[in-house]
Chains A and B, each alone.
Chain A
Amino acid sequence: MTPSRPEAIVIGASAGALEALSVILPSLPADFRAPIIVVVHIPPDKKSVLAELFRARCRIQVIEVEDKEPLKPATAYFAPPDYHLLVEDTGTLGLTYEEPVLFSRPSIDVLFESAADVYGSEVAAILLTGANEDGARGLAAVAKAGGRVIVQDPETAFAAAMPEAGLKFCPNAEVLSLDGISEYLRRFD
């Protein structure tokens, strides 16, 4: 059975993110319909090269977000360094410059919680490799709102702390390898 396609996919990752996302994002077809919104922890003073890097490797569009960026299908959106990224209820993405959450700005919790508020059950949240606990509470918020929650198998993660925390907050999350996650996403289309 093919699960119905969520309105958006949100992804969070920290240490090891580059390698993990390199398995998932390039595997998606050019007409992959749901927008994919990604928070990766990056040092605040660095110019982020993530969007540029993935643009070259992906068939979907890849954008670093500016405030009020409209969401479009077949596009991956990366949070810029040093701003929180939120989904808004007007089909756009918003940025804020509030305090870091768990020492992180952008914060995965902030993105996931806003996605839970806006999409309710119509979102899939994916928590990948990382060395801290950001994202776990957000994942729980998505689960509580009825959305789908997926955690990278900690055994396969570069850093296990983040997916483990995800599972602690969200014991019913689906546990998948990176390839498993790619496959899971492709089934939506």
Chain B
Amino acid sequence: MIETFEKVEDIEIRLLLEALYVRYHYDFRNYAMGSIKRRLRQACEQMGFATISALQEKVLHDETMLPRLLGYLTVQVSEMFRDPSYFRAIREKVVPHLKTYSSLKIWIAGCSCGEEVYSLAILFREEGLEDRTIFYATDINQQALQAAEAGVYDLDRIRLFTENHRKSGGKSSLSDYYNAGYGRVSFDRSLRERVVFSDHSLVTDAVFGEMHLISCRNVMIYFDRPLQDRAVGLFKDSLARKGFLGIGAKESLRFSEHAEGFKEFVREDKIYQRVGI
């Protein structure tokens, strides 16, 4: 009996993801099932649907449901200078290489609400690289992209951001870059002057040319293995010769079919360098 029940839920999930793809061109069909299942159960529970099929009917007929469902299906958890040692490694080991180029392109894939974008923009300003750099910040979640462009965060997160920035080897004070008021902080406009925000999916969209550094952290963990291969392939083809790829602290290219396209550049911090061609 239980067996049958479980299978019905799996069918419902497959159908819902298909519906989302056909109706709205959001493709979650190859995301890691365990997490998707959890998110959809949570969505049903919190929005009051008895079954995933009921949720599907609503989503198909009412497009205002889409952003709400996307809020469940895409996980927006981030911090500025998250894993400070990663940013320290970028600063101390990658930046010296980047300094040898007269112009730089950096891609932050899956930028969420911008925490990682402002972190890198500040780091590049501190290192004197900002003026020669264009940052491409992409995500599939429109609301997250808008939040990223606004650069406004709750004041109670600043203590952690400041601590992380300091641990990352920050050469300035984080408070130099924002104004606080009404329980929020607003990051300096000038930090996003060189940032292009855009809607881009690692699942369905194409390469982004000639990047010197791609930072894609904690995005591919939501994909299944074949889809991870697609994303890493996309990064491989988007990197300039000897370009760098940084991924999340608990992600790895060990299991990727493109593993030979990269060498470990800073092993502990999951920074890789493109090899060949």
- Give A residues with C-beta under 8 Å from B: 65-70, 80, 83, 86-90, 92, 94-99, 110, 113-114, 117-118, 120, 144-146
Contacts and interface: CB of A to CB of B under 8 A. Distances in A.
Nearest to B224: A90
A96 B251 CA distance: 10
B86 interface: no
6 contacts: A88-B33, A94-B34, A96-B222, A120-B6, A144-B2, A145-B6
Nearest to A98: B75
B277 interface: no
Interface in B251-272: 251-252, 254-255
Nearest to B220: A67
B35 interface: yes
B250 A80 contact: yes
Contacts, number: 75
A70 B250 contact: no
Interface string B33-54: 1110111000000000000000
Contact of A96 (B6, B35, B224, B252): B35
B225 A92 contact: yes
A74 to B, nearest CB: 20
Nearest to A83: B250
A92 B223 CA distance: 13
Contacts of B195: none
B251 A67 contact: yes
B34 A87 contact: yes
B38 A90 contact: no
A112 to B, nearest CB: 12
Given A94-B32, A98-B77, 6 more contacts: A66-B252, A70-B255, A88-B33, A96-B34, A97-B221, A120-B6
Contacts of B38: 86, 96, 98, 110, 113-114
Contacts of A86: 32, 34-35, 38
A98 B32 CA distance: 13
B156 interface: no
B205 interface: no
B62 interface: no
Contact of A99 (B34, B77, B252): B77
Size band of the B side of the interface? 20 to 34
A89 to B, nearest CB: 6
Contacts of B75: 96-98
Contacts of A87: 34
Given A97-B75, A144-B2, A117 B252 contact: no
Interface of B: 2-3, 6, 32-35, 37-39, 75, 77, 218, 220-222, 224-225, 228, 248-252, 254-255
Nearest to B35: A96
Given A67-B220, A68-B225, A120-B3, A94 B251 contact: no
B250 A66 contact: yes
Contact of B33 (A65, A69, A89, A95): A89
B225 A117 contact: no
A68 B3 CA distance: 26
A4 B228 CA distance: 35
Contacts of A97: 75, 77, 218, 221
User: Which residue among B3, B34, B220, B249 has the maximum number of chain A CB atoms within 10 Å of its CB?
Assistant: B34
B34 A117 contact: yes
Contact of B228 (A68, A117, A146): A68
A98 B220 contact: no
B7 to A, nearest CB: 10
Can you list the 4 inter-chain pairs with the closest CB atoms, starting with the nearest? A86-B34, A66-B252, A96-B35, A114-B34
Contacts of B3: 120
Interface hub of A68, A114, A118, A145 (most chain B Cβ within 10 A):
A68
A95 B2 contact: no
Nearest to A100: B77
A177 to B, nearest CB: 30
A43 to B, nearest CB: 14
Nearest to A70: B255
Given A98-B75, A145-B2, A88 B251 contact: no
B35 A67 contact: no
B2 A66 contact: no
A80 B3 CA distance: 31
A90 B224 CA distance: 9
